[in-house]
Amino acid sequence: MNKLEILITGLNQIGLDYNQTQLDMLELYISEIELWNKKFKLVGAGGEDLIIRHVLDSLSAVPELKKLKVKTAADVGSGAGLPGIPLSVFFPDVHFSLIERSGRRAGFLRNILSLLNIANNVSIVESDLGEVKSEYDLVLFRAFRNLIDFYEPLLKIKSSEGYLFAYKGKIEIIESEISKLGNKIKVNIVKAFVPFLEEERNFCIFF
């Protein structure tokens, strides 16, 4: 399969309804990452790997996110705009803030907002996490580092009725990390399905 076929097959396997405009937006986004990846060091993948490990991985959360009623979302450490930009294509009524401290990557993100015409529901916050003062209904992060390092700072920008949503890997590692956060933690662990990816993925939803 070529890259477009992988993308389309992946969207179908996740169970996403999409139109031609949304597909075109994803294609343009992928092409821009590939165009600027070497210069800005956006992601450590290209070609099929970029689509599977980053775009489809990001979109694999859509079925779970549809169960949460949110109006605002923050993508922390957005980098190339993952998962925020792909998700914004499928959640046009949610306002996404892409939190990215790197000026070069923030510049790339501003260009993407213009190209995809999504500035109405996506904004860039060029800042360290610790300097962010706003609160969000949904705080997203794709992090394979220890949850201990992120939990408290992320909690500070979550609204009182909101959610922390982490894209994570193996369940054994997740359970070990969560056990160190204390007994009062309320979390659901949901097995993720990422098309074409054989590695284990899970979502941690803290509420």
- 98 SS3 class: strand
> What is the domain extent for residue 48?
3-206
Asked, as a colleague might, if the bond just before 83 is cis with ω within 30 of 0, I would say: yes
Q: Residue 149: is its pLDDT beyond 90?
A: no
Q: What is the chain's mean pLDDT, rounded?
A: 95
Residue 182 confidence class, pLDDT cut points 50, 70, 90: confident
pLDDT at residue 148, as a whole number = 85
Cα separation values, 72 from 95, 104, 106, 134, 160, Å: 5, 25, 19, 10, 13
d(CA 146, CA 15): 30
89-118 pLDDT per residue, tens: 999 999 999 999 999 999 999 999 999 999
Dihedral sign computed on CA atoms, order 72, 65, 130, 183: positive
Domain tally, the chain? 1
Q: Residue 144: is its pLDDT beyond 80?
A: no
Q: Model pTM?
A: 0.96
Q: Is 80 exposed, middle or buried (0-12, 13-18, 19+ CB in 10 A)?
A: buried
Q: Residue 8: is its pLDDT beyond 80?
A: yes
- 47 SS3 class: helix
pLDDT at residue 76, as a whole number = 96
pLDDT at residue 31, as a whole number = 97
pLDDT at residue 150, as a whole number = 85
Q: What is the mean pLDDT of residues 182-188?
A: 88
Residue 56 confidence class, pLDDT cut points 50, 70, 90: very high
Residue 3 confidence class, pLDDT cut points 50, 70, 90: very high
Going by their DSSP bridges, the two strands 136-142 and 158-168 should be labelled as: parallel
Return the ∠ at Cα 142 (arms to 41 and 12), rounded to 5°: 95
pLDDT at residue 18, as a whole number = 98
Higher pLDDT, 149 or 193: 193
Q: What is the mean pLDDT of residues 42-61?
A: 95
CATH number at residue 167: 3.40.50.150
Are the CB atoms for 157 and 206 separated by under 8 Å?
no
Q: What is the mean pLDDT of residues 54-73?
A: 98
